[in-house]
Chain A
Amino acid sequence: MPNPPQPSSAVLTPEAIAASVTGQDATVRAADDVARYALGLGDDALVLAQRLGSWIASAPELEEDVALGNIALDTLGHARSLLTYAGSAWDQTEDDLAYFRDEADFRCRQIFERPNGDFACTIVRQLVVSAYFTALYRGLAESTDATLAAIAAKAVKEVAYHLDHASLWTVRLALGTEESRRRTLTGLEAVWPFVDELFAADPAADAVPDAAVAPAGLREPFDALVLPVLARAELEVPAAPALRGGGRLGVHSEALGPLLAEMQVLARRHPGAVW
């Protein structure tokens, strides 16, 4: 295992922060196959955080600006940990991975890149992805990979709040006014075709069965979290067929490109910029 020179954190650039992962004191440098798995999980979180961030100042009420902003911040934190760890295998920083990869290099599942839609649509997606993250991080906290386990053990406490937030809003909107119910149903129809992809095979997970959580095994705990909420909200699982997916293979919808353009433009136009 290569052991690069010890970086000094006296210069607190993002590069130095990321470099500390590979420092001689750090206990970890991700193995290549584990890094590929972490990259997919990190991309899911990064792209969702970017989507949620655009709610700030646009949510129906101030409290929701703050709530969605906080949820985005937690999610960005998960992305930073996962991408920093993934990058440690390839001598790349979290910023290298976030800002200097193109669309086809991203490995996020497609549900995360979906446009926000209206508030009800975002809430339905939050219900789905928070339940998915809860099941995922509970499982990943038992990973044989100590760093993935540590990231997950921390994240699982945070996504519990996110799931609670989405569950309460789903019920409130679905049983609220005729208009809020109509929007919730529309959101559910828009989001649900992307649900199956969350549990589809992920070659990166298959390559590291002890470190990873098998996606197919997450369906049952996911259903156990989501179906009772839908029942309480008097919502039925839509019958629409699942879409093909392929996010883990770099296949994306047209929604990802504009998202990345906005996220990456500053770093690409002014490489190394700090503020």
Chain B
Amino acid sequence: MVTGGAVKGAVGAPVEQVARPRPAAGPERAAWDAAAAVTDPEVPVLSIEDLGVLRGVRFVDGAPVVDITPTYSGCPAVDAIRDDVVVALAEHGFPGARVNVVLSPAWTTDWMSDAGRRKLAEFGIAPPARRAGGVVSLDLGIRCPRCGSLHTRELTRFGSTSCKALWVCRRCGEPFDHFKEH
């Protein structure tokens, strides 16, 4: 199930290039686009491409092989995503797909696309903060996705799924999920 995988994306490579290694052309690109539409079963507004979970598509002996990476080691969504990718590819004319789970490079919320961050906020989940430069995660406060206030506090670091923490807004009083920086 799990392989080390090739370490792609050297230090200094643009985040976007590392996060979404979409093939330039050919059937690989078509297969990538088919797999890219699969959504995370626990956060259905995000595609696996938005999340940076889709890591690569290639063909081995004519059959597509898709690499995905888990957000967290124990994330149960991986099995559902694996299933959905096989189905999505078959629907787009690529039967017999195989899905490979790779662990390296380790997934980070920095790979989440800007579009994904917007969709998360609209869905009511505060998106993860960006760690510019990747050195320090500054605790600048998390914006309430309902009223927009920065006057919020963490209620518990472990929320409804591995990737989320539970926060509460001090202004509107509503609790909300926050996609943890990882």
Tell yes or no: B134 within 8 A of A by CB: no
Tell yes or no: B148 within 8 A of A by CB: no
B3 and A21 within 8 A (CB):
yes
A222 to chain B, nearest CB (A): 21
Tell yes or no: A75 within 8 A of B by CB: yes
CA distance A6 to B86 in the complex (A): 16
Tell yes or no: B26 within 8 A of A by CB: no
Which of B6, B96, B103 gathers most chain A CB within 10 Å?
B103
Contact size class for B?
35 or more
Tell yes or no: B4 within 8 A of A by CB: yes
A13 to chain B, nearest CB (A): 11
Tell yes or no: B123 within 8 A of A by CB: no
With a cutoff of 8 Å between Cβ atoms, the chain A residues found around residue B30 in the complex are none
CA distance A8 to B95 in the complex (A): 11
Residue of B nearest to A74 (CB): B74
Contact segment of A97-105, A150-158, A203-211, A213-221: A150-158
Tell yes or no: B83 within 8 A of A by CB: yes
A26 and B157 within 8 A (CB):
no
- From the candidates A17, A66, A76, A153, name the one contacting B158 in the complex (CB within 8 A): A66
Residue of A nearest to B61 (CB): A6
Tell yes or no: B32 within 8 A of A by CB: no
With a cutoff of 8 Å between Cβ atoms, the chain A residues found around residue B1 in the complex are 17-18, 20-21, 80-81, 84, 94
- From the candidates B3, B60, B86, B159, name the one contacting A9 in the complex (CB within 8 A): B86
B3 and A26 within 8 A (CB):
yes
Chain B window 108-149, contacts with chain A (Cβ cutoff 8 Å), 1 for yes, 0 for no: 000000000000000000000000000000000000000000
- Given A149-B4, A154-B107: A25 touches B65 (CB 8 Å cut-off): yes
Chain A window 7-26, contacts with chain B (Cβ cutoff 8 Å), 1 for yes, 0 for no: 11110100001101101111
What are 15 residue pairs bridging A and B, where the CB atoms are less than 8 Å apart in the complex?
A: A8-B96, A12-B83, A20-B100, A27-B5, A28-B4, A66-B156, A70-B162, A74-B162, A77-B72, A77-B73, A78-B74, A81-B103, A147-B103, A154-B106, A158-B72
Residue ranges of A at the interface with B (Cβ–Cβ < 8 Å):
6-10, 12, 17-18, 20-21, 23-28, 63, 66-67, 69-71, 73-78, 80-81, 84-85, 94, 146-147, 149-151, 153-155, 157-158, 161, 164-165
Residue ranges of B at the interface with A (Cβ–Cβ < 8 Å):
1-6, 60-61, 65, 70, 72-76, 79, 82-83, 86, 96-100, 102-107, 155-160, 162, 166, 182
